Amino acid sequence: KNNTSLRPVSQVSDRSAPNKTFVEVDEDKIRDSFFGAGLEHWYEELNEYTFSSTLCELKEVEAKTIVEHWQYHRQKELREVSIEDELDETIIMDQLANLSKRLNDAIQSEVRKSPVGRAFVKLSTRSPKDSKRILAIATDAYHKRMDKTNGGADF
């Protein structure tokens, strides 16, 4: 049995609220941390020691389209989309046609260089599945950026 007793105090000090100082991080630091792991930051240093690689830029307007498409389908799965809000998939495909061509060209270029006729495709940054926390932070930063750029219209 533990013989420890509590001492009386003169006033109550409620410390049940979360300590936000541990989670309030500067948005620039979050962005630097998330995107600092990108291939474009280290590839040149290692390119003579690693596989052949072709970089393919993802433009902000394309990223916005992809995110909106994913969000639409997620809402559809959760039955939060009405029939009036049905998305015309051909519009999305048209908006991403240039990206699709750039990706296909890059992949085919690497397949031709490969002795086994194959290519490995990787995102420049960390995969969102690597960390729920970093995904939540990146999602929040994305929404803030969209708000600052008039929903992406100011790109």
Provide the whole-model pTM.
0.54
Instruction: Give burial (CB, 10 Å; 0-12/13-18/19+) of 61.
Output: middle
pLDDT at 147 over 70: yes
HSE on the CB side for 118, CA within 13 Å? 2
Confidence grade of residue 108 (pLDDT, cut at 50, 70, 90): very high
Return the pLDDT at 99: 92
Q: Region 105-124: what's the mean pLDDT?
A: 90
Share of residues in the chain with pLDDT > 70 (%): 73
CA atoms within 13 A on the CB side of 38: 14
Tell me how far apart the alpha carbons of residues 67 and 74 are, in angstroms, rounded to a whole number: 10
* Tokens 């105090």 -> residue: 9
Q: What is the pLDDT of residue 111?
A: 95
pLDDT on residue 115:
93
CA 33 to chain centre: 12
pLDDT at 110 over 70: yes
3-state class (DSSP) for residue 38: coil
Q: Tell me, what's the pLDDT at 153?
A: 60
State how far the alpha carbon of 26 is from the alpha carbons of 21, 31, 35, 88, 152, in Å: 11, 9, 14, 38, 22
